[in-house]
Structure 1
Amino acid sequence: MQHINSFLALGDSYTIGEAVPIHESFPYITTQLLRKKKISIYAPEIVAKTGWTSSELAEHLLHTQLNHHYDFVSLLIGVNNQYRNLSVDNFLNDFEFLVKKAIHFASGKNERVIILSIPDWGCTPFATDKNKEQIAKEIDAFNIVCKQTAKQYHTNFIDITTETREFSLEPKAIASDGLHFSYETHLIWAKKMANAIQQILE
């Protein structure tokens, strides 16, 4: 019998695909792309909420009963820490806990955990009257934590921030709320995810 892969997506509004239909979020597009490549995979299980910080996601995971094992786990969190001016040091503690948790969910297979970098909301119309340079600088600091923790725990790391910054000048990159990202942007992220998963399975 053919094995059907399972996929747990942990995060915040970017994982849910705030302001786009759920099937246009990157976890769902990722599974659609993999199915086109003849890779069997269930619809993603999403544990994410708009506005969640790293500590709120961690808190939720401590009190929620999920399946013990998934074939793949993605983690994208931290934008709300930056938005609320929370410290990078606290984020580091939370993030390390979340990465360990993700590895646990992936049956201890570090390479099956995929960490995504935090997109830059400073590039969106919502941030027109904000200090974009400051936002970019702070998001870079949080992303250094994400990247270094991924390296420390031997997980995958995918940079989606660069594209977010480059592509955000295109009106079609942004969702209708002027703050979140559109299907087109989620598709870019999903292609990177699907390629990473395909390589892991090969």
Structure 2
Amino acid sequence: MKLWGRWSFVGLLLILVSCSSEKEVNTPPDTRVLKILALGDSYTKGESVCSTCNFPTQLRDSINVRRGNGLSEVQIIAQTGWTTPQLKNAINQTNPPNTFDLVTLLIGVNNQYQNMPFSFYANDFPELVQKAIEKAGGDRNKVVVLSIPDYAFTPFGNGNTSISAALQTYNQFASDYCASQQISFVYITDITQLGLQQPALVAQDGLHPSTLAYTRFVERLLPVVLPKLGLQP
């Protein structure tokens, strides 16, 4: 009986330790309401795709899945055809709060398309990045800039190499500025450069990215974005 009692006591201790260990690994649910602000033009709005198919909304949904369907919100300030001056004006007029957990910026294609002097972009892009930082509560780590898609690789662009060359100048400027400011820059242009080889990457309008292309954008974004939100990639 004494021997049995000793082993029973040891067994009880093992059960208690096991229960204690289980409690230690359990983490409380993530109940934060994460707020995302997406700034840009038709590539952010998602021209010619459904309202939930653009990359900011797909990004929100992917984040929610990784949080166990936690709640995230996305606000989009973007319209088809917007240039950098128009986006600046829209942000000032909308005046969103400076409390976002993540801010994305994708802008510049319409400057190029409308043959605006490159100096407009060179002056406006840094201002827009700083505005994005402001909307992220002053935390530059919460800002992500996406490269400009290459519409030369669509039926509309028809492989025009001058388009690609011009957009490369814009993207290089943006990449260099982001590097100098320690801002995350995610290159997605190469995804769109497959548009003529893979027509499924182009929307039905023959110009803008498709839902599938935006899904590929999100796949590039997630490894960069999730750590910024305190989540595992």
- TM-score band by shorter chain is over 0.9
* 1:33 aligned partner, one-letter code: S
* 1:157 aligned partner, one-letter code: F
Matching of residues 144-183 of structure 1 within 5 Å: 144-183=172-211
**Secondary structure, counterpart of 1:82 in structure 2:** helix
Residues 187 and 165 (structure 1 numbering): CA distance in 2 closer, same or farther, change over 3 Å?
A: same
Q: Which moved more, 1:164-173 or 1:137-146?
A: 164-173
Note the C-alpha offset of 1:45: 0.3
* 1:35 aligned partner, one-letter code: N
8 Å Cα contact 2:146-2:188 kept in structure 1: yes
* Structure 1: unaligned runs, 5 residues or longer: none
For 1:69, which of 94, 99, 105 is the aligned residue?
A: 99
For 1:126, which of 146, 153, 156 is the aligned residue?
A: 156
Measured in 2, the distance between the counterparts of 1:166 and 1:127 equals 13
Note the C-alpha offset of 1:168: 4.2
Measured in 1, the distance between the counterparts of 2:214 and 2:207 equals 14
Tell me whether 1:26 sits opposite 2:55 in the alignment. Answer: yes
Report the number of matched residues.
200
Measured in 2, the distance between the counterparts of 1:8 and 1:96 equals 18
Residues 41 and 149 (structure 1 numbering): CA distance in 2 closer, same or farther, change over 3 Å?
A: farther
**Secondary structure, counterpart of 1:107 in structure 2:** coil
Rg larger in structure: 2
* Alignment RMSD: 1.5
**Secondary structure, counterpart of 1:177 in structure 2:** coil
| Matched residue, 1:83 | 113
| Matched residue, 2:167 | 139
Measured in 1, the distance between the counterparts of 2:145 and 2:71 equals 19
* 2:79 aligned partner, one-letter code: K
Tell me whether 1:47 sits opposite 2:77 in the alignment. Answer: yes
* 2:171 aligned partner, one-letter code: N
8 Å Cα contact 2:34-2:73 kept in structure 1: no
8 Å Cα contact 2:149-2:192 kept in structure 1: yes
Q: Which moved more, 1:64-73 or 1:76-85?
A: 64-73
Measured in 2, the distance between the counterparts of 1:60 and 1:82 equals 19
**Greater RCO, 1 or 2 (C-alpha within 8 Å, sep 6+):** 1
For 1:95, which of 109, 125, 133 is the aligned residue?
A: 125
8 Å Cα contact 1:77-1:118 kept in structure 2: yes
Measured in 2, the distance between the counterparts of 1:168 and 1:52 equals 25
**Secondary structure, counterpart of 1:68 in structure 2:** coil
Measured in 2, the distance between the counterparts of 1:109 and 1:32 equals 23
TM-score (norm 1): 0.94
TM-score (norm 2): 0.82
Measured in 2, the distance between the counterparts of 1:167 and 1:62 equals 35
For 2:225, which of 184, 197, 202 is the aligned residue?
A: 197
**Secondary structure, counterpart of 1:44 in structure 2:** strand
Percent identity over the alignment is: 32
Note the C-alpha offset of 1:32: 1.1
Note the C-alpha offset of 1:167: 4.5
Measured in 1, the distance between the counterparts of 2:78 and 2:191 equals 22
**Secondary structure, counterpart of 2:224 in structure 1:** helix
**Secondary structure, counterpart of 1:198 in structure 2:** helix
Note the C-alpha offset of 1:69: 1.3
